Amino acid sequence: MGKTIGIDLGTTNTCVAALLNGKPFVIPSSTGTRLIPSYFAVTNDEKTLIGVRAKRQSITNPQNTIFAAKRLIGRKFDSKEVQITKGKVPYQIVEGPHGDARVVCGGKTMSIPEISAFILLEAKNVAQEFLEDDIDGACITVPAYFNETQRQATIDAAEIAGLKVLRIINEPTASALAYAQKRGKKNELIAVYDFGGGTFDISILEFGEGVYEVLSTAGNTYLGGEDIDNRLIRYILDDFKKAHDVDLMQDVMAMQRLKEAAERAKIELSSQTEATISLPFLTETSHGSIHYNTVIMRNKLEELMEDLVRQTIEICASTLEGAGLKKDDIHEVILVGGQTRAPLVIRKTAEFFGKQPNRSINPDEVVAEGASIHAYNIVSPLPSNILVDITALSLGIQTKGGMFAEVIPRNTAVPVTKTRRFTTTYDNQDAVRIAVYQGNEKIAQDNEMLGEFVLSGIRLAKKGDPNIEVSFDMNSEGILRVTAKDADMGTEQTVTLEAASGLSNDEITLMKKKMMSLELELKEQ
């Protein structure tokens, strides 16, 4: 039997961990680093690069270097989120054959799961090489706020990479598992505040004897450290324009250098009160080269990011309220994600929860550690702790007036079966359309549509008379079955909704083959 691993597939960094001596540890790559940049690139001479190698050449090859793929995974091309990302990245985003977002890299169109597959493959190889053993399966983490489509796309990515997925678990939940393991057995209520590169998540958990129960979770998949970088970039662009009357936005290479410099300055400002940005030969004009030098004060950065941090705190407040809890009920606040190193974040969370947050764990590694604990636990015949996780997004159907009617409300423990009664909207209606959506918006269309079907043969009656029972069954593999039934007539219609990730099975098989043939080439680098 081989080994199991945990993978934190992050927006900016990916981390892989395994269990040794009963404790999780992050697996170093052959170069000794513990984080794999979530970067993928194809060079001019058609070489495929992953991780550090890809990141290193991103400045000189911005159009063919894909990063932040997690922001696109499982998303429709015309979704608001993809359109926002389009304006922020130097590579090209196009519409795929199934309406999914795809990227152009090295002159070829690639699906997002394929890009993520390369990063997962790198993680798997790092683990395989270090452990000198086969990898039997992995637990991969996603933001709690990922919908079924995004989860399925992540599973597809693993499939393409030839990696067996044991479970997909939520990032904050994984952090909590790692924390629990370090703290030993103890009953407590904890809050996990995870502010990463691309997403923000908050979860409240209760640790009991042998059972960890997630009580409530919320977040924003479009709020992260990169948004803070972008604030700083915008500030510098304005400054530059004022000083030189040049719009840097048009210069892809300059923008890439600026992006790097801005992030570096932001990170420096977590431990220092001022940071210098120095970018010689940043751009060329008819008057010659322009060198850019400036000093950013911590105060300035905090002013620029203040409202983003406030948004996270507002989500914390509503989450606590939703769970029927007071701030004082929380025994421990755990900070996770690289962005929580920023003093402003520490200050604001301490202020809100009324206690100093716990920072004893490594915010970059804890998610992968937790995932590795879960992976190990699940394949052992006697798991030491059972994790009860919840759905962060409601599941339901569209009803009269386009409204969304929940069948499985958010924050419900899974697996679960729930039934709700509906009725007809006009007299002698003999069929209804059941359109299944997932999300937390009141209007059905604002949520993610998972599928639809028609129940016909309804008893002819006055409107509002028939009893139509709609039940949702979400199993432990995350597969949703929806059944609609006329309770009086007994007519029934069931569909199994496998979230469409934007890839067909044939496409996945094809990509998997391609990946296997590339694997050797990658290993030889």
Partner 1 sequence: MPRLLKQPNSVAGLTEQEKFVLSLVDGKTSLQEIARVTGFGLTSVNKILEKLSHDSVIEFAKQPSSEPGNKPEQPGQSIQELVALYDNADPYAILGVPENAGADQIKEAYFEKTKMFHPDSYYARSVPAGDKHLLETIYKKVQGAYETLKNSQPRQILKGPQVRSPEPPAATVRQTPAPLQPSTAKASAQHLISDQIKDRVKKAAAHYKIGMEAFMHNDYANAYLNLKLANSYNPYDQEYLHKMEEAEQLMKSDRYDELLKKADISIELDKPDDAIKYLKTAYGIARDKKLVCYKLASVLYDFNQSLKEAKNYCQQAIELNPKNPDYHHLLARIYQKAGLPKNALFEYEQSLNLGMKTDEIKIEIKQLKSMVKNNG
Q: Examine residue 10 and tell whether it contacts Mg ion (CB under 5 A).
A: yes
Residue nearest to ligand ATP (CB): 225
Q: What residue type is assigned to position 483 of the chain?
A: T
Q: Examine residue 172 and tell whether it contacts ligand ATP (CB under 6 A).
A: no
Q: Examine residue 486 and tell whether it contacts ligand ATP (CB under 6 A).
A: no
Q: Examine residue 520 and tell whether it contacts partner 1 (CB under 8 A).
A: no
Choose the contact partner of 331 out of ligand ATP, Mg ion, partner 1, none; CB within 5 to 8 A by kind: partner 1
- Nearest Cα residue to 260 out of 65, 28, 49, 48: 65
Position among 6, 219, 338, 396 found at the interface with ligand ATP (CB under 6 A): 338
Active site residue 8: yes
CB of 343 to partner 1, least distance (A): 4
Residue 396 pairs in a beta bridge with: 406, 437
In angstroms, what CA-CA distances link 128 with 67, 270, 366? 24, 35, 20
Among residues 383 and 457, whose Cβ is nearest to partner 1?
A: 383
Distance CA 312, CA 452 (A): 34
CB of 413 to partner 1, least distance (A): 5
In angstroms, what CA-CA distances link 349 with 114, 272, 300, 353? 37, 20, 20, 6
Point out the catalytic residue in the list 8, 159, 227, 389.
8
Q: Examine residue 359 and tell whether it contacts partner 1 (CB under 8 A).
A: yes
Active site residue 314: no
Choose the contact partner of 75 out of Mg ion, partner 1, ligand ATP, none; CB within 5 to 8 A by kind: none
Position among 53, 102, 298, 341 found at the interface with ligand ATP (CB under 6 A): 341
Choose the contact partner of 263 out of partner 1, Mg ion, ligand ATP, none; CB within 5 to 8 A by kind: ligand ATP
Position among 293, 318, 425, 475 found at the interface with partner 1 (CB under 8 A): 475
DSSP state of 123: H
Active site residue 194: yes
Residue nearest to Mg ion (CB): 196
Exposure b/e, 100-133, CB count within 10 A at least 16 = b: bbbbebbeeebbbbbbbbbbbbbbbbbbbebeee
Residues 178-207 interacting with Mg ion (rule: CB under 5 A): 196
Distance CA 315, CA 319 (A): 6
- Spell out the residues 6+ positions from residue 232 whose beta carbon is closer than 8 angstroms to its own: 262, 265, 266, 296, 301, 304
Site string for partner 1, 144-173 (x = CB under 8 A): ----------------------xx------
Sequence-ordered strand ranges (E) for 47-199:
48-50, 65-67, 92-95, 101-105, 108-111, 135-142, 165-170, 188-195
Q: Examine residue 356 and tell whether it contacts partner 1 (CB under 8 A).
A: yes
Distance CA 239, CA 227 (A): 18
Reading the block at residue 468, the tokens are 């139509």
Distance CA 279, CA 275 (A): 13
Dihedral Cα 300, 82, 118, 516, nearest 10 deg: -170
First to last CA, the chain: 29
Position among 224, 357, 466, 502 found at the interface with ligand ATP (CB under 6 A): 224
Active site residue 251: no
Residues 373-402 interacting with partner 1 (rule: CB under 8 A): 377-383, 386-388
Site string for ligand ATP, 363-402 (x = CB under 6 A): -x--------------------------------------
Choose the contact partner of 339 out of Mg ion, partner 1, ligand ATP, none; CB within 5 to 8 A by kind: ligand ATP
Position among 3, 5, 6, 13 found at the interface with ligand ATP (CB under 6 A): 13
Point out the catalytic residue in the list 100, 159, 171, 507.
171
CA 422 to chain centre: 34
CB of 209 to ligand ATP, least distance (A): 30
Site string for partner 1, 87-126 (x = CB under 8 A): ----------------------------------------
In angstroms, what CA-CA distances link 299 with 266, 273, 275, 309, 354? 11, 8, 11, 14, 23
Q: Examine residue 271 and tell whether it contacts partner 1 (CB under 8 A).
A: yes
CB of 408 to Mg ion, least distance (A): 26
Stretch that binds partner 1, among 156-164, 409-417, 435-443, 509-517 (CB under 8 A): 409-417
Reading the block at residue 96, the tokens are 């795929």
Residue 293 pairs in a beta bridge with: 278
Distance CA 267, CA 432 (A): 55
Among residues 69 and 309, whose Cβ is nearest to partner 1?
A: 309
List the Cα angle 38/39/40 in 5-degree steps.
Answer: 130
Residue 101 pairs in a beta bridge with: 95
CB of 381 to partner 1, least distance (A): 5
The values of phi and psi at residue 64, to 5°, are: -110, 20
Active-site residues: which are they? Answer: 8, 70, 171, 194
Binding site for Mg ion (CB under 5 A): 10, 196
Binding site for partner 1 (CB under 8 A): 20-21, 25, 28, 32, 130-131, 166-167, 186-189, 206-211, 268, 271-274, 324-325, 329, 331, 343, 346-347, 350, 356-357, 359-360, 377-383, 386-388, 412-413, 415-417, 475-476
